[in-house]
Amino acid sequence: MADFVKQIPDGDTREREVCATCGYVNYQNPKIVAGAVVVHEGRVLLCRRAIEPRANFWTLPAGFLEAHEQPEEGAVREVFEEAVARIVLRGLIGIYTVKRLSQVHIFFRAGFAGAPAFAAGEETTEAAMFAWEDIPWDDLAFPSVIWMLRRWREGEDGMSDIGRFSVSV
């Protein structure tokens, strides 16, 4: 196993983990989360988590991107994995950073591709559609879910959100 030391590599300006043997720089980059706010007739699709962290709490379908995957592809894949739903993306809701976790969250507006159909996926115990006033606010898994739902609601004026973004620190 290689021994890593903290140092500023040649040509860099930040301290990094560098292999003492070969000089390989182990860059630490943020994780990217992609997801969607899937809406049909004013109701939002939420999933009850079957896994930690925050098992049994409700969330928007989302998850980490895979290598070489575009955010749009990741959002569509995650919705299918968590809610067994085929969707069509309709624009960007927002890009948020969670600095303490080194994560970037990218969420899209979406609707069902065809007739609304969904079910609990492998990481989900339950999937359901909620009207705004029925969203289980006290049982949402993460602050980012609240941010995205509020941002979706703010943008319900029918205008496209492509090009707009929000940042949270």
CATH of domain 31-154: 3.90.79.10
169 pLDDT more than 60: no
d(CA 110, CA 26): 36
The full set of domain ranges for the chain reads 31-154
Note the pLDDT tens digit of each residue in 38-79: 999 999 999 999 999 999 999 999 999 999 999 999 999 999
17 pLDDT more than 80: yes
What tokens appear for 14 in the block?
């930040």
Note the pLDDT tens digit of each residue in 93-148: 999 999 999 999 999 999 999 999 999 999 999 999 999 999 999 999 999 999 99
Note the pLDDT tens digit of each residue in 138-161: 999 999 999 999 999 998 644 444
15 pLDDT more than 50: yes
Pairs from 70-73 (Cβ < 8 Å, separation ≥ 24): 71/32, 71/34, 71/106, 71/108, 72/34, 72/108
162 pLDDT more than 50: no
